[in-house]
Structure 1
Amino acid sequence: MADASYDLVVVSNRLPVDRVVDRKGDASWQTSPGGLVTALQPVMRQADAAWVGWVGQPGLEFEPFDSDGVHLIPVSLSAIEVEQYYEGFSNDTLWPLYHDVIAPPRYHRLWWESYVEVNRRFAEAAAGAAADGATVWVHDYQLQLVPRLLREARPDLTIGFFNHIPFPPYGIYSQLPWRTQIVDGLLGADVLGFQRPADAGNFQRAVRRLLGHQTKTGEIRVPEGDGERLVTAKAFPISIDSASYESMARLPEVQERARQIRADLGNPRVVMLGVDRLDYTKGIAHRLKAYGELLGDGELQVGDVVLVQVASPSRERVETYRLLRDEVELTVGRINGDYSSIGHQAISYLHHGYPREEMAALYLAADVMLVTALRDGMNLVAKEYVASRYDEDGILVLSEFAGASDELKHALLINPHDIDGLKAAMMRAVEMPEPERRRRMRGMRKRVMANDVSKWSSRFLAELGESGAK
């Protein structure tokens, strides 16, 4: 307990920095670009705070250090733990299970044992860093056992957990051999946050079925000792740093880059855009199928319309992801081979990530944004597109299976499994009159600009503070 001195401790699989080695072999730390970092860094700079997480590379051990006003506590993972806890149980068991079994989950006892061990190590690091009566905020599906482990080690703590991905219906969740241990692990928290009300409802049903605890909307009664503890479980939909995306989009150099992008594409009448991690949950194959059929039907013409597909690399050591990349790239090649001309491509396919300034330029250049996720906790790309469109133009085609669809009601909502419906929405977007485009975009921007990521973190921490005061 000698090191226990921080009033707020954030625990996530990754630290908010990346270790970068330059050409000379000198290493340095750079702030990660993720939304969670953007949301929490301002809060953490103001508080006496620490962040517990993995450095992102196996076998490296570092002492705690400070970066950009935040105290960082690295947790080391061996190569075998990365394989079993992270690539295995987290991303080849939980990820597909929690995303409605779009790909089949794999259940291995060694993976589970590694998951338990790594969660224990994260919990120990957080317990060692937290001051008496501190608040600890644990994040995401990789660390679902940490709340219970923390509560057993430090009952004085106020503990929150936020699940960034969906929580599945009980009929799917019940397949997990360790379903009861996961639910019990999560119930160590005082406040459980989910992206959508349906996710919170799914979790409460799992609690009733597996543990028999009493629940009502937003509240679970957890037996503890001779009494009971109230756990809050409800939706806290995450958002983005909306103002920063708008500010970036207003920069003259970003606007010039957007014009250049359109010129490089041959100045088509309509630019469609997809931006995704290369993940089977994102519905990229469905999007390509619909687009290819529209070209084949003659409803869209190459030269008049182009699809830009950004597919950033993801989990390339997992077999399912390697197969998906092959499938997507074969489909892109076939469509380009069938429909491209010498001067115009049907699809501009980009298999790498881009900095935020380039993304803002792409958002400005795109007339139609396609978000066709088969299942997605939120999908922040949809909100980034809306925040970037300070010109109040552009159309968002959005899957009803993405959490963002709960808020962005003025998008063209689609079922990505319905290829004919997706095609109809794409054509409606292409042909939509300007007044309707602007009316829809204004409605979405009002929501995204008012409910940014700082509101999300403030709301969750306020709920957690009220819970700790009870």
Structure 2
Amino acid sequence: MPQAELVVVANRLPVDRVEGATGDDVWRRSPGGLVTALEPLMRREDGAWVGWPGQAGLDIEPFDFEGTHLVPVPLSEEEVQLYYEGFSNDTIWPLYHDVIAEPRYRRVWWDAYVKVNRRFAEATASVTAEGGTVWVQDYQLQLVPRMLRDLRPDLTIGYFHHIPFPAYGLFSQLPWRRQVLEGLLGADVVGFQRVADAGNFARAIRRQLRYVTKASGITVPERDGETRNVLAKAFPISIDTASYVELAQRADVRARAAEIRESLGNPSKILLGVDRLDYTKGIRHRLKAFGELLEDGRLSVEDVTLVQVASPSRERVEAYVQLRDEIELMVSRIGGDRDTMDHTAIRYLHQGYPREEMVALFLAADVMLVTALRDGMNLVAKEYVATRTDNRGVLILSEFAGAADELGTALRINPHDIDALKDTIVRAVEMPPAEQGRRMRAMRRKVIENDVHAWSSSFLDALANARAHKDDEPDGEEPDGEKLDGEQAADEESESGEGSA
């Protein structure tokens, strides 16, 4: 088996298995910013990608695809249910998103999570060259860094956490909190979306493991009595901005945007929401605010239409089935009360769309609604900004989305404050073009300068620096009072006040 200098480890391979023109199964590159960002690098470095091929029971040999060596990790149907749908998405996902839905703690799920993480670690260890670099992606694989370090101490290991990392009072509920922290600290660099997430992680380390955390990182004692330094900081992810700008300037995409407006009856203003159908996205909150604005007479169905794209997500998880029922009931009630023969209040689309169609929707929309209750980043906000080459349009952005840290001229909202959300929607609808342009130009500069390639480069540079300084770290540093990544000294509170598990 070939050995790779750079290996990416993710829950999924960067390809999808689809039916080809002749009826045979073929592989097609998956859409997504991570794949786009790493593709050129993987080709240049003859890299490998370790991941599940996306189909239960599919056990296939490693293969090459468009310059990248792909290493499939098989999962049984039971493992998909326990490790992925269970622990990853019914324990970690709700817990890390501020317990918006109730997490469930089942030992059989945890056992499956450990088993599958070990399988990923072993597969990675087998394909990584001596002294190579491994980059582990996201919450499904939080134990892999430590497992991999035990198997291959010669490697430089990075981990990036794409979702929020919760405050200690929530994280401490997890029965396996120490194991997760120790798993993550197997990495040399642990990356987060926001400074606040890195701070939450540092506090959990101090409270649970009693390790020293400084602005320069975390001092981790090893089993041989030595210590090493783990860098934990924010590396906010972004999008392939250039590809969105290119699509937004294509004549066929612009023509499609005009068709969309016409198909909606050419309303004065189009509001747009684009989300996975997930309880973290605040879809119910925006529907409630919009319905009340119609009821109050501050907006009219003849002038304003809301388009809500809610792509299917985790349809076998009970919380998501219930969420779909609630949202579709709300859409039906608002439509029943407010629709006319000629105008529809809400165009609800429970479907996924190709990128070209999404860019056309972004161009057609006058106001983009991002009302997430908790979101690691929310790349849709950045996609909307990138496509607005005319410097028009208004972004309403939840302060609880990571993108709010960067897109400072968006109209920021607390989605739980329905009255303020309503006022902000009206403000966006009525915003003059000059103010739209001023706000959008500032956001577009930020998104263009900090694209997904800059993100991947900054993280890999940190890994390269960690590799270069591995032999230079002093042992046993004493605490000096500094807090990691701006963390405040609030962890002086008593442990009893922060919810022990």
TM-score of the aligned structures, taking structure 2 as reference length:
0.93
Residue 318 of structure 2 corresponds to residue 319 of structure 1: yes
Q: Which residue of 1 aligns with 2:495?
A: none
Question: Counterpart amino acid of 1:329?
Answer: E
Q: Which residue of 2 aligns with 1:12?
A: 10
Q: Which residue of 1 aligns with 2:461?
A: 462
Q: Which residue of 2 aligns with 1:413?
A: 412
Instruction: Note if contact 1:4-1:127 (Cα within 8 Å) is conserved in structure 2.
Output: no
Within 5 Å, give how 1:293-372 maps onto structure 2.
293-372=292-371
Question: Counterpart amino acid of 2:111?
Answer: E
Q: Which residue of 2 aligns with 1:30?
A: 28
Q: Secondary structure at the match of 1:446?
A: helix
Q: Which residue of 1 aligns with 2:290?
A: 291
Cα distance in structure 1, aligned partners of 2:280 and 2:184:
24
- Once the two structures are superposed, residues 259-316 of structure 1 have per-residue CA deviations (whole angstroms, 9 ceiling, x without a partner) of 0000000000000000000000000000000000000000000020000000000000
Q: CA 1:467–1:4 in 2, change beyond 3 Å: closer, same or farther?
A: farther
Shift of 1:176: 0.3
Residue 398 of structure 2 corresponds to residue 395 of structure 1: no
Deviates more, 1:77-86 or 1:220-229: 220-229
Instruction: Note if contact 1:52-1:122 (Cα within 8 Å) is conserved in structure 2.
Output: yes
Question: Counterpart amino acid of 2:409?
Answer: H
Q: Secondary structure at the match of 2:314?
A: coil
Q: Which residue of 1 aligns with 2:227?
A: 228
Deviates more, 1:16-25 or 1:245-254: 16-25
Question: Counterpart amino acid of 1:278?
Answer: L
Cα distance in structure 1, aligned partners of 2:388 and 2:138:
30
Cα distance in structure 1, aligned partners of 2:113 and 2:23:
33
Cα distance in structure 1, aligned partners of 2:3 and 2:389:
44
Shift of 1:21: 2.0
Cα distance in structure 1, aligned partners of 2:395 and 2:288:
18
Shift of 1:25: 3.6
Within 5 Å, give how 1:378-389 maps onto structure 2.
378-389=377-388
Instruction: Note if contact 1:7-1:47 (Cα within 8 Å) is conserved in structure 2.
Output: yes
Residue 130 of structure 2 corresponds to residue 132 of structure 1: yes
Question: Residue 196 of structure 1 is aligned with which of 188, 191, 194?
Answer: 194
Q: CA 1:4–1:179 in 2, change beyond 3 Å: closer, same or farther?
A: farther
Q: Secondary structure at the match of 1:63?
A: coil
Question: Counterpart amino acid of 2:405?
Answer: D
Cα distance in structure 2, aligned partners of 1:132 and 1:48:
14
Cα distance in structure 2, aligned partners of 1:430 and 1:14:
40
Question: Residue 55 of structure 1 is aligned with which of 31, 53, 56?
Answer: 53
Q: Which residue of 2 aligns with 1:157?
A: 155
Question: Counterpart amino acid of 1:89?
Answer: F
Cα distance in structure 2, aligned partners of 1:80 and 1:23:
32
Q: Secondary structure at the match of 1:282?
A: coil
Question: Counterpart amino acid of 1:75?
Answer: V
Instruction: Note if contact 2:50-2:73 (Cα within 8 Å) is conserved in structure 1.
Output: yes
Instruction: Note if contact 2:267-2:304 (Cα within 8 Å) is conserved in structure 1.
Output: yes
CA-based RMSD? 0.8
Question: Counterpart amino acid of 1:394?
Answer: G
Consecutive unaligned residues in structure 2, runs of 5 or more = 470-501
Residue 236 of structure 2 corresponds to residue 206 of structure 1: no
Q: Secondary structure at the match of 1:82?
A: helix
**Paired residues, what number?**
468
Q: Which residue of 1 aligns with 2:118?
A: 120
Instruction: Note if contact 1:302-1:339 (Cα within 8 Å) is conserved in structure 2.
Output: yes
Q: Which residue of 2 aligns with 1:178?
A: 176
- Once the two structures are superposed, residues 3-60 of structure 1 have per-residue CA deviations (whole angstroms, 9 ceiling, x without a partner) of 3611000000000000002475410000001111111111111112100000111001
Q: Which residue of 1 aligns with 2:92?
A: 94
Question: Counterpart amino acid of 1:386?
Answer: V
Residue 451 of structure 2 corresponds to residue 437 of structure 1: no
Deviates more, 1:370-379 or 1:223-232: 223-232
- Once the two structures are superposed, residues 327-376 of structure 1 have per-residue CA deviations (whole angstroms, 9 ceiling, x without a partner) of 00000000000001011100000000100000000000000000000000
Shift of 1:217: 2.2
TM-score of the aligned structures, taking structure 1 as reference length:
0.99
Cα distance in structure 1, aligned partners of 2:65 and 2:329:
43
Residue 374 of structure 2 corresponds to residue 375 of structure 1: yes
Question: Residue 80 of structure 1 is aligned with which of 75, 78, 81?
Answer: 78
Instruction: Note if contact 1:4-1:128 (Cα within 8 Å) is conserved in structure 2.
Output: no
Cα distance in structure 2, aligned partners of 1:376 and 1:57:
27
Q: Which residue of 2 aligns with 1:65?
A: 63
Q: Runs of 4+ in structure 1 displaced over 6 angstroms?
A: none
Instruction: Note if contact 1:313-1:353 (Cα within 8 Å) is conserved in structure 2.
Output: yes
Q: Secondary structure at the match of 2:154?
A: coil
Question: Counterpart amino acid of 1:284?
Answer: I
Cα distance in structure 2, aligned partners of 1:82 and 1:5:
28
Instruction: Note if contact 2:46-2:67 (Cα within 8 Å) is conserved in structure 1.
Output: no
Cα distance in structure 2, aligned partners of 1:57 and 1:36:
20
Question: Counterpart amino acid of 2:143?
Answer: L
Q: Secondary structure at the match of 2:280?
A: helix
Q: Secondary structure at the match of 2:467?
A: helix
Instruction: Note if contact 1:8-1:44 (Cα within 8 Å) is conserved in structure 2.
Output: yes
Instruction: Note if contact 2:10-2:136 (Cα within 8 Å) is conserved in structure 1.
Output: yes
Cα distance in structure 1, aligned partners of 2:100 and 2:40:
37
Cα distance in structure 2, aligned partners of 1:194 and 1:331:
35
Within 5 Å, give how 1:212-251 maps onto structure 2.
212-224=210-222, 225-251=224-250
Deviates more, 1:32-41 or 1:290-299: 32-41
Question: Counterpart amino acid of 2:130?
Answer: D
Q: Which residue of 1 aligns with 2:489?
A: none
Instruction: Note if contact 1:4-1:132 (Cα within 8 Å) is conserved in structure 2.
Output: no
Cα distance in structure 2, aligned partners of 1:108 and 1:25:
41
- Once the two structures are superposed, residues 378-416 of structure 1 have per-residue CA deviations (whole angstroms, 9 ceiling, x without a partner) of 000000000000111000000000000000000000000
Q: Secondary structure at the match of 2:75?
A: coil
Cα distance in structure 2, aligned partners of 1:126 and 1:140:
15
- Once the two structures are superposed, residues 182-220 of structure 1 have per-residue CA deviations (whole angstroms, 9 ceiling, x without a partner) of 000000000000000000000010001111000012500
Instruction: Note if contact 1:137-1:161 (Cα within 8 Å) is conserved in structure 2.
Output: yes
Question: Counterpart amino acid of 1:387?
Answer: A
What percent of counterpart residues are identical?
A: 68
Q: Secondary structure at the match of 2:248?
A: helix
Shift of 1:112: 0.1
